[in-house]
Amino acid sequence: MRSFTYYDLIEAFAQTGCAVCRLALQDARRYLDSLLYEYSTDPEAHRLMRSGRGLCNWHSWQLTEIAGGALSAAVLFRSALLEVREVAAESESGRRTAERLAPRSLCPACQALAEREQLCAETFAKHLNEPTFEAAWRASEGLCLPHLRLILPALSQANAARLLDHQRTVWARLQAELEAFQRSFQAEHSAEPLSQAAAASWRRCIALLTGERGVFGTARP
């Protein structure tokens, strides 16, 4: 039986960038939306806000970009502030206070990202050489390096070789585009037309080596 993640990946492979990054970011955004619009008064949500001292830096600021969420964000972060004040009010050494002020739980939005990543790794392991799935990932722009490293250990040696073969093709094409982009700054090549892929290659290289912006934030390795 194929999972929802299987079909989500098939769809994401047809879009730009790393498919796993795309799905992980979608899940984190869904979590933040539900936190603001459904769970801002939920006791468990407030417990997580207290133990985490809020959310991680990245997801805390992402909350501020969600329209209509200011009041809910204030309610949730008030709980975190109260917890921090209570901890700091106790008379202890500076070192001990600093330790107790540290988050006691992972940012739940980061947790949503990590759970989707694991589901993607399991899906790759189960379906990588299934014809429809393989055709989709071979037509994609490849995986970012962190997600490639996550998925490779879950694969058989033969399937790991198949996936790496595609990644090598992606990397070689990107290198050629980067070199074309660099040449465009040389006077003797400045009049030559530059493809859209080459013009955007430096940004795509950053995303391919480090992951899409917001996937690997301050609370994640």
220 found inside a domain: no
pLDDT one digit per residue (tens) for the chain, 221 residues: 789 999 999 999 999 999 999 999 999 999 999 999 999 999 999 999 999 999 999 999 999 999 999 999 999 999 999 999 999 998 788 899 999 999 999 999 999 999 999 999 999 999 999 999 999 999 999 999 999 999 999 999 999 999 999 999 999 999 999 998 888 888 666 666 768 888 889 999 999 999 998 898 665 55
Parent domain of 26? 4-210
Structure tokens, 119 = 């589901």
What local confidence, expressed as pLDDT, does residue 220 receive?
Answer: 59
What local confidence, expressed as pLDDT, does residue 186 receive?
Answer: 82
What local confidence, expressed as pLDDT, does residue 189 receive?
Answer: 63
194 found inside a domain: yes
What local confidence, expressed as pLDDT, does residue 91 receive?
Answer: 73
215 found inside a domain: no
112 found inside a domain: yes
Q: What SS3 class is residue 131? A: helix
Contacts of 204 (CB under 8 A, 6+ apart): 17, 141, 174, 177
Global pTM reads 0.88
Residue 56 DSSP class = -
Tally of domains in the chain: 1
Residue 216 DSSP class = S
Structure tokens, 133 = 């799935």
Rounded to whole angstroms, the Cα distance separating 153 from 199 reads: 34
221 found inside a domain: no
217 found inside a domain: no
71 found inside a domain: yes
Q: Helices 108-127 and 4-13 sit at what angle, rounded to 10 degrees?
A: 90
Amino acid at 1: M
216 found inside a domain: no
Q: What SS3 class is residue 143? A: coil
